[in-house]
């Protein structure tokens, strides 16, 4: 199997150290980014943030992973945003 080529578009979407990424159905913290691997791709060292595998290390070649994305500031802003939901048990039904 030939090694993947790393083009300019892929390099521009590389995560930076300290960013959070979603990959392989988990949430990870980027610990380091090694672009010296040449044609093999960019080696990203990650630490898992999920409760059931917290701190578990993982090294991946960024360009060959599928279904991945960097968690952006917009996502963090959405966390904790209140969503107005109708009450489950209205007071008139339960004489509150």
**pLDDT > 80? residue 6:** no
Per-residue model confidence (pLDDT) at position 78: 67
Q: Which of 43, 6, 50 is nearest to 24 (CA)?
A: 50
Please state, in angstroms and rounded to a whole number, the distance separating the CA atoms of residues 38 and 88. Answer: 57
In order of their start, the domains of the chain are 1-72 (2.30.30)
pTM recorded for the entire structure: 0.67
Give pLDDT tens digits for 8-49: 434 458 999 999 999 999 999 999 999 987 788 999 999 999
Tell how far CA 39 is from the center of its chain.
24
Spell out the residues 6+ positions from residue 13 whose beta carbon is closer than 8 angstroms to its own.
70
User: Could you tell me the two tokens for 59?
Assistant: 């090294």
Which one has a higher pLDDT value, 94 or 35?
35
Per-residue model confidence (pLDDT) at position 73: 78
Tell how far CA 1 is from the center of its chain.
27
């Amino acid at each position: 199997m030939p090694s993947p080529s790393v083009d300019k578009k892929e390099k521009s979407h590389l995560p930076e150290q300290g960013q959070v990424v979603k990959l392989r159905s988990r949430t990870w913290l980027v610990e380091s980014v090694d672009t010296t691997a040449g044609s093999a791709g960019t080696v990203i060292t990650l630490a898992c943030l999920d409760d059931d595998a917290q701190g578990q290390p993982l090294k991946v070649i960024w360009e060959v992973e599928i279904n991945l994305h960097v968690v952006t500031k917009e996502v963090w802003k959405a966390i904790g945003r209140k969503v107005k939901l109708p009450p489950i048990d209205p007071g008139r039904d339960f004489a509150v």
